[in-house]
Chain A
Amino acid sequence: MSHNWGYVIAGYSITAATLIAYAVSLRVRIRRARRTLAEEDRG
């Protein structure tokens, strides 16, 4: 018998997806900002 595992799976999945997406977006934006500054330095 299911004891509300669907809610547990939904909660953990949404949490994982949100936190991974946020952490990855920060990393991508940091890399992009570094690249832009480096390109500007090269002229």
Chain B
Amino acid sequence: MAKRLFLAATLVALATTAVLALWVTPPREAQGWDAVRLLYLHAPFAFLTYVAFGVTALCSILWLVPRTRNATWDLLAGASAEVGVVFTALTLVVGSIWGRPTWGVYWAWDARLTFTAILFFLYLGYLALRRTGATAAERGTRCAIAALIAFADAPIVHFSVNWWQTLHQQGTVFNSSLDVQVDGSMALTLVIGVLAFTMLYAYLVMERFQLAQLEEGREERELQRAIAERIQASEVVPA
């Protein structure tokens, strides 16, 4: 029931974002006229990419530390990574669509774009690693180490616009001088958008975590059944 209420609140927040982004905020010539409305998707997705992979990294550390090791951290790390991959893909796709009217191209081998694409493929590899056969403990440790290695790319993505000359603009909010480059209805829409998509991220992680728990339970049962069958077969004495 609480989850349904949370989903309803998320949908209301998303609808509010869409109304503000498409009808209330003004177009801007320097950012592709009305194409600037893609900012209210692109910026929250980029923010959630950091959040999702940050949660995966944190859960991976909690798994690796023997005192805090718990299957929950491994499953939560996997759930957050999968949702993070979806948001990273959307960051790249929506950013490319916005790039065409503002830069004249869908894609450029710019530092920000390239390192974001690398981040996407690193976490795709992480998700593939989660599917490899091993015991839950072996898989957990292997994936936790891979997640921490992959997360090293996140600060490179964030600071790439400061470290190199890039086609991509500097951070609108989290720039080097912490000078917020957006105000009025645009700022309000951006704040509501970040909140709405963060709620959606939380909902999707809850769903993916629940699915991971069910799959884990099923795997455990299959293993128990296989062991029981093996014991039964060994007890049958040939005549």
- Inter-chain contact B27/A18, CB cutoff 8 Å: no
- Inter-chain contact B34/A3, CB cutoff 8 Å: yes
- Inter-chain contact B211/A7, CB cutoff 8 Å: no
Chain A: CB-nearest residue to B96? A11
Residues of B within 8 A of A11 (CB): 38, 41, 93-94, 97-98
Residues of A within 8 A of B90 (CB): 14-15, 18-19
How many contacts between A and B, using CB within 8 angstroms? 72
- Inter-chain contact B89/A18, CB cutoff 8 Å: yes
Docked CA distance A10–B90 (Å): 12
Docked CA distance A30–B204 (Å): 12
Among the listed stretches B119-127, B133-141, B214-222, B226-234, which one makes contact with chain A, having 4 or more residues with CB under 8 Å of it? B214-222
Chain B: CB-nearest residue to A8? B37
Docked CA distance A6–B211 (Å): 37
- Inter-chain contact B204/A22, CB cutoff 8 Å: yes
Chain A 8-43, CB-CB to B under 8 Å as 1, else 0, gives 101110110011001100110110011011001000
Query: Quick one: which of B180-214 are within 8 Å of A by CB?
Result: 200, 203-204, 207-208, 210-211, 214
Interface size class of B (residues with CB under 8 A): 20 to 34
- Inter-chain contact B18/A12, CB cutoff 8 Å: yes
B108 within 8 A of A: no
- Inter-chain contact A30/B97, CB cutoff 8 Å: no
A30 → chain B, closest Cβ, in Å? 5
**What are 27 A-B residue pairs whose CB atoms fall within 8 Å in the complex?**
A3-B27, A4-B35, A4-B101, A7-B32, A7-B34, A7-B97, A7-B98, A8-B35, A8-B38, A10-B97, A11-B97, A14-B93, A15-B41, A15-B94, A18-B89, A18-B90, A19-B90, A23-B203, A23-B207, A26-B204, A26-B207, A26-B211, A30-B210, A30-B214, A33-B214, A37-B217, A37-B221
